[in-house]
Amino acid sequence: MSVSSTRNGAGSGVAAALRRFEVMAFVVGIGLLILCVEVVLHYGFDNDSLAWWSPIHGVLYLLYVITTADLGMRLRWSLGRMVGVMLAGVVPFFSFVMERKVAREVQVR
């Protein structure tokens, strides 16, 4: 079942969950890059100008975990698969890769 067909049918919850996941994967990916800059500034240059970003990133990552769990439960992923996708949000650039992979997989369904 493709995402376009699920938007109008019974699987519309999957399409909405996928969209939320895609948005959060992008936001967390950008947020993680900002966090990397913050770490370099803090430890490399003793500059705390982005110190405020860490707690915001933590909240965003928690939302990413929730949206991943929502999508995973709707698609009946194994716990290992869900955790693997969740961990993609802690490796710079990997959330972008995983978002595309998951989106393609859901579209094939």
Res 3 pLDDT > 60: no
- Of 3 and 102, more confident: 102
Contact yes or no for 34/61 (Cβ under 8 A)? no
Q: What is the pLDDT of residues 23-32, one digit of tens each?
A: 999 999 999 9
pTM summary value: 0.85
Predicted local distance difference test score (pLDDT) of residue 109: 77
Res 40 pLDDT > 70: yes
Residue 59, judged by CB atoms within 10 A of its CB (0-12, 13-18, 19+), counts as exposed
- Of 10 and 28, more confident: 28
The type of residue at 79 is L
Res 6 pLDDT > 60: no
DSSP letter assigned to residue 9: S
